[in-house]
Structure formats: C-alpha cells, structure tokens
Amino acid sequence: MKKWVMVLALVLVAILVLSGCGSNNTSSNSGDSDAEIYIPVISKGFQHQFWQAVKIGAEKAAAELNVKITFEGPESETQVDKQIEMLQVALDKNPSAIGFAALDSQAATPLLKKAQEKNIPIIAFDSGVDSDIPVTTASTDNIAAAGLAADKMAELIGGEGEVALIVHDQTSRTGIDRRDGFKNRIEEKYPNIKIVDIQYGGGDHLKSTDLAKAIMQAHPKLKGFFGANEGSAIGVLNAVTELNKATIVVIGYDSGKAQIDAIRSGKMAGAITQNPIGIGYETVKAAVDAMNGKEVPESIDTGFYWYDKSNMDEEQIKAVLYE
C-alpha cells in the first residue's frame, strides 16, 4: 500500500512539474503582447549632419511615446546592398513597424512585400518608395523645394547663362525629385538659362568636388551651380574655392555647419533647408499610429525654407538649421 502511495505521489509531482513548465511557456508567449514596442529606423546614411538631426527627432518622438527605436544607416549613400541587408535584419526581429528611407526606390520592394505579409507597417521618410506598401511618407516636397532653388538661381544670375547640377543619386526619390524639380522649373520658366551638365556624386563631398571641377573646366562660362544635398553642395563649394571661381553662384540644399558658414561668408548664395528633426519625429509618430490601427495620412509634408545671409538668423529659420 505504501508503495502505491509513493508511486501516486511521484506521479502527482511529475504532473505539477510539467504543468509548471507549460505555465512558463504560456506566460513567455503571451508576454510578447506586453513586450516593449520596437521600431527600427533605417536611414540613407550617417555621414551628413542632416541624418543626425533626423535621428534627434526620431529619438524625441520615441521618448514621448514610450517606444524603443534603433537608428542606423550605411556608411555611404551609395551602399544600396548594405541598406537592404539592414532592412532584412530589421524584418527578422519582427518589429512593430519600420521607418525606411530608401537609397534605391526599387531595390527594397521584395522586402517591403515581406513586411506587408507580416503586417508590419512601413513608414517611408525623406525618400519615398515607388510602391503603395508604405502607409505614409514623411518628407519634404522636394520637387517644390528644388523649384524654389531654381527660381533663386535665375534671380541671382540675371535670368540667363549656363548652370550645372551635382546630385547625390539618380535612384532615390530625393535625388530624382530634386534634379527634376530644378531642371523642369528652369526649362519651363527661364528659356535663356541652359543646364549644361548634371552629375551624380553619391552625396560624397570629395567625389562631388572632382565632378564639379570637371564641369567648370569643360564649361568656362558657367554662371551657377546647384548642389542637391549637403555633400553635393560642399563638394561644389570646395571646387569653386579651389579653382578660384568666386563669381559662380552656388546654391545648396540642407544645412550643416559648412554650408551655414559659407552662406555667412558669402561664398554660397543660399540654400534650401528641410526640417530634419520634424522628419524624424513624424516618422516615429506615424509608425506608432499605424501599428495601433489609427488613420495615417498618405503623406506628411514636413516643410522647407529658403535661407541666405539676410534671413538665416530669423527664429523660424534658425529652428530648422542644424550644425
């Protein structure tokens, strides 16, 4: 009899142990719903101060909304494959949503489809994606902004002459829209201005410098240069300085200390500034809204401004300049 009691007791203990193990597994799985909300934000790079300002905005929203984010990007804006790898790693972590600024608006589509299949909202920022998968895009109206840069260029060179562009790439939406926004405005409104060359420097100021030098040497009558992002503009500025072509009007895009200093000194005529902190903030905010099932607008216009020596100390402009 005692033997049967002992056997029964052992069976009961075994049942309790197994039950306990099952309980632990259940709580671990259900704990996923209470886990910290995680949103990876994948930018186009880290090499420009613009992206650091976007990061500040994203972190500000994350702190206010009590979510965890990571912010990363490839070392160079030419490393499309590296950015795709980062997107794949982010997807493998099953995040709540993803913020994504595409270097190549086509290359990421297969992974974006995977995110859609897993019901992970994609928030495009800065560069849009040629797809209806992202629930929204938080960005500058780059066509309108580059059009304003073209108007300023025309004004500063007297409505006639030769101009050229250094653009960061021809694959991202920002590169395409800034190029076309400037080019189309010139062609539509200023028949006496001729765009003699458009080159792509990958956002690298050293490569952009070399390209700008080659253009100036090929076109000695050049009157104006538009650099379509921070690295492009600094490359143009360096080339103009090194070849002692101070009469060439240089217009940039974005800000950063080098451009701000150049505009204060008169070496650069002016530039378009975006609202990078606002871009980062709105990206994370839209991601949280989307994952919570809230309605998100199809696009979020984060604004832009022209700034030059005459207005760069005004409060409205100072708020969107970054060093």
Q: What is the 3-state secondary structure (H, E, C) of the chain?
A: CHHHHHHHHHHHHHHHHHHHHHHHHHHHHHHHHHCCCEEEEECCCCCCHHHHHHHHHHHHHHHHHCCEEEEECCCCCCCHHHHHHHHHHHHHCCCCCEEECCCCCCCCHHHHHHHHHCCCCEEEECCCCCCCCCCEEEECCHHHHHHHHHHHHHHHCCCCEEEEEEECCCCCHHHHHHHHHHHHHHHHHCCCEEEEEEEECCCCHHHHHHHHHHHHHHCCCEEEEEECCHHHHHHHHHHHHHCCCCCCEEEEECCCHHHHHHHHHCCCCEEEECCHHHHHHHHHHHHHHHHCCCCCCCEEECCCEEECCCCCCCHHHHCCCCC
Tokens describing residue 147: 């059009």
The predicted-structure confidence for 87-137, as pLDDT tens digits, reads as follows 999 999 999 999 999 999 789 999 999 999 999 999 999 977 878 899 999
pLDDT at 32: 38
CA 118 vs. chain centroid, Å, equals 24
Average pLDDT, the chain: 89
With 80 as the cut, is the pLDDT of residue 7 above it? no
Gap between the Cα atoms of 254 and 304, Å rounded: 9
Q: How much of the chain, in percent, has pLDDT values that exceed 90?
A: 80
Average pLDDT over residues 54-78: 95
With 60 as the cut, is the pLDDT of residue 14 above it? no
Average pLDDT over residues 253-268: 96
Q: How much of the chain, in percent, has pLDDT values that exceed 70?
A: 89
pLDDT at 12: 42
pLDDT at 130: 77
With 80 as the cut, is the pLDDT of residue 199 above it? yes
pLDDT at 201: 97
With 60 as the cut, is the pLDDT of residue 28 above it? no
Average pLDDT over residues 270-291: 96
Q: Which of 153, 148, 133, 181 is nearest to 298 (CA)?
A: 133
Highest mean pLDDT, choosing among 75-79, 123-127, 248-252? 248-252
Average pLDDT over residues 233-256: 97
pLDDT at 195: 98
pLDDT at 30: 26
Gap between the Cα atoms of 220 and 164, Å rounded: 12
The predicted-structure confidence for 40-64, as pLDDT tens digits, reads as follows 999 998 878 889 999 999 999 999 9
pLDDT at 35: 55
pTM confidence score? 0.79
